[in-house]
Amino acid sequence: MARTIGRREFFKDSAKLGVTLVIGGSLGSSARADSGFASDDPRPDVAVVTGGDYRKNTIKAIEMLGGMEKFVPKNSRVALLPNVQSRHPGAFTKPEIVRSVIRMCKRAGAKEVNLLSWQPLKQWEDTGLGQVAKEEGANLKLFEKDESLFQVVPISNGEALKEARILKELFNNDLLIDMPITKDHAGNKFTGTMKNLMALNSPGCNRTFHKEHWDTDPNDIAHLDQSIADLNKAVKPALCIVDATEIINTNGPFGPGEILKPQKVVAGIDRVAVDAYCASLRGLKPEEIVHIKRGAEQGLGIIDLNKLKIKEIKL
């Protein structure tokens, strides 16, 4: 059931729930490199499954990483962050992928699966994701764009961003699964796991990412990219699952635009690695996407695909 939550109701509910997770726990990220699994672990850093059945692709990609139970403890609260930015084809996370992830979380023993957003209900309805949440018994929690509903998170090693303002409801969850669609962006040319976290940051704070010429001036674009890298120092997903099935290659992030159909679902825990792989699907060099490059330089993951265990299969 979709609910739009305002300031008064949020604080009433939060008093009952309590904050179960704080920065520095599994959602908090230090500036150390997180390159995925240990070198002697047989699981890949990046799992890629290609095929026309996106539900099966999603299930198989997570199986390749060891199964959802490796990420979702029993009786945990799981926050999901799909992209619902636009209803145009190739601009939002596919309902089949979100449905599969909800079901896998529940089978792993999750107590709650919560989809969090400050995007309006219409976005969820237009993309079909609201219906998926309803049918699968997940909680669609929508929040007003009220700055009091966001928690200030200092970023001591931030270069462009010294503090984030993260949706407080996130910290009533035990882990975050980041679920973007990879696609074009008008400014930095790439949307993936790292940029998708802006959907948890307050709209007011996000505005500081965008200088006057954020879509044309290289310095302003670099500021946007560094802000994204800094934001990723404040929040760390436990798992990233990327829709690379049908994506817009032009006129992003909203579209409509030219559609590419890689028919892939990509999964991993290293955001830099996953984004580097997804950039390559659009013929982009990862090191040319500034926030991916700076994320690697600043210890958030590995950008060099030759140094990663990437396993690709076709169904």
pLDDT in tens, 41-54: 889 999 999 999 99
CATH topology of domain 2-314: Rossmann fold (3.40.50)
Give the lowest-confidence range in 25-34, 77-86, 207-216, 280-289.
Answer: 25-34
The predicted model scores a pTM of 0.89
Q: Which residue has the tokens 């699981």?
A: 43
Region 153-160: what's the mean pLDDT?
A: 93
Query: Residue 149 gets which letter from DSSP?
Result: G
Please report, for residues 16, 25, 201, 235, the alpha-carbon distance to residue 241 in angstroms, rounded to integers and kept in the order given.
31, 21, 19, 16
Res 2: pLDDT: 52
pLDDT digits (tens, 9 = 90+) for 27-43: 443 333 455 676 778 89
Distance CA 265, CA 51 (A): 9
Domain ranges for the chain: 2-314
Nearest to 91 by CA among 261, 241, 247: 247
pLDDT digits (tens, 9 = 90+) for 88-127: 999 999 999 999 999 999 999 999 999 999 999 999 999 9
